[in-house]
Amino acid sequence: MPANPWNSVEQHPDDERAGSPWFFAETYQEFHWGLESLLGELEQHRKAVEQLGLTASPFEEEVDYLRGMVAWGKEKLAALGNSLRGTITVNGVTYRSLRYLKAGVLYRAFEVEKQKSAFLAKYKIVPRSVLRSFDARIEQLRGMSEMGKLSGLKPADVLFELTEAQSAAGEPSPPPRLVQALPPPASDSEVFVVDEVLRKRCLPLLRAIDGEGARDQYDSVIREMSVVLEDRVREVSGYTGNASGADLLGITMARDPLLIRFSPERNVQEAAHLFFRGYSGLVRNEVMHRLVESYTRERVVQLLGTVDYLLYLLSRAELPTTESRESTH
């Protein structure tokens, strides 16, 4: 498990309400699968508990709680169909439930780590690309665990109980020998991008430019990340009009009724709007209107991190009401 960032963060009581956080359906599915994994592990211990006659034990209460969360998630995901388009809002959720959600997705990361260890134990010669695939998946899941209301939140104790028990039972595998036919170009292994869409759309493009040595084309990555950001603003806000750039940000973040609310405090809301608008006016507009051949890879990586953070802020924003969606075009 990674270092615990929640140790230095003041924690909310389990029974405190956390508002109504939302998730993209595909993202929530990852959390749901994590809850199913946790429940499956706990169910394996049911017989031992029953043999002790502890039918009203805290263990049984935890299993029942997880069952309820899994049933709720299954119903919500089934209602969206196979396409999994749209969002899932968890109205009036407690921090206890969010702790279990976080524990679930971190447990999935732990399972991938175990798969990686098993792979390394079986194959002594390992391609670097395979290791990067494992690591990228692990970092993706860990990144999800810090989204929105989950940021800084300590996961449920069941995560530590299960991972520590399984880690104690395992044996370390010998270090692998990496296969590397040619020195790779600067790889995306040094580029940590949390947002899944941003990663899928931009990192392959960055790799292609690196591989071809086309140093004058890095602006195409900036252009793509700007499109991802603007598309997310539209998706989150529900805005369907033709505005773009600064106009889009003004309509969604600065005008009443607010379509994207970052904070009830006016100065914080204004600061968030200006943060987005600053990126749009200073970076996005330049690459949208002309070719910019002066970008270096280092600057592109910095801007990827900036857009990744802006997308994170959007994940914490309040979704608009139906009335505000309908009144703004």
Instruction: Give yes or no for a contact between 27 and 86, defined as CB atoms under 8 angstroms apart.
Output: no
Supply the pLDDT for residue 267.
Answer: 94
Is the pLDDT reported for residue 19 higher than 50? yes
Supply the pLDDT for residue 31.
Answer: 95
Q: Which has the closest alpha carbon to 232: 249, 246, 220, 257?
A: 249
Confidence of residue 281 (pLDDT cuts 50, 70, 90): very high
Confidence of residue 83 (pLDDT cuts 50, 70, 90): confident
The pTM of this model reads 0.66
pLDDT tens-digit readout, 207-259: 899 888 888 899 999 999 999 999 999 988 989 999 999 999 999 999 988 99
Supply the pLDDT for residue 4.
Answer: 65
As a whole number of angstroms, the distance between CA 87 and CA 76 comes to 10
159-178 mean pLDDT = 62
The amino acid present at 276, given as its one-letter code, is: F
Instruction: Give yes or no for a contact between 113 and 139, defined as CB atoms under 8 angstroms apart.
Output: no
Supply the pLDDT for residue 177.
Answer: 47
> What does residue 115 show for φ and ψ, rounded to 5 degrees?
-60, -40
* Residue with more model confidence, 171 or 78: 78
The amino acid present at 141, given as its one-letter code, is: L
The pLDDT > 70 percentage for the chain reads: 84
| DSSP reduced 3-state for 147 | coil
H-helix or E-strand spanning residue 218: none
Is the pLDDT reported for residue 322 higher than 70? no
Confidence of residue 184 (pLDDT cuts 50, 70, 90): very low
- Mode of pairing for the β-strands spanning 125-127 and 22-24: unpaired
Which residues fall within 8 angstroms of residue 276, CB to CB, at 6 or more apart?
233, 249, 253, 310
Supply the pLDDT for residue 178.
Answer: 47
Q: Is the dihedral of CA 151, 153, 154, 156 positive or negative?
A: negative
What mean pLDDT value characterizes the chain? 83
Confidence of residue 6 (pLDDT cuts 50, 70, 90): confident
Supply the pLDDT for residue 50.
Answer: 66
* Residue with more model confidence, 53 or 94: 94
* Residue with more model confidence, 127 or 1: 127
pLDDT tens-digit readout, 43-73: 877 666 666 665 556 677 888 899 999 999 9
171-198 mean pLDDT = 54
- Any idea which of 4-8, 105-109, 196-200, 223-227 has the lowest mean pLDDT? 4-8
Q: Which has the closest alpha carbon to 100: 27, 170, 155, 39?
A: 155
Which residues fall within 8 angstroms of residue 25, CB to CB, at 6 or more apart?
77, 80, 84, 85, 86, 87, 88
As a whole number of angstroms, the distance between CA 300 and CA 217 comes to 11
* Partner residues linked to 24 by β-bridges: 87
Supply the pLDDT for residue 195.
Answer: 85
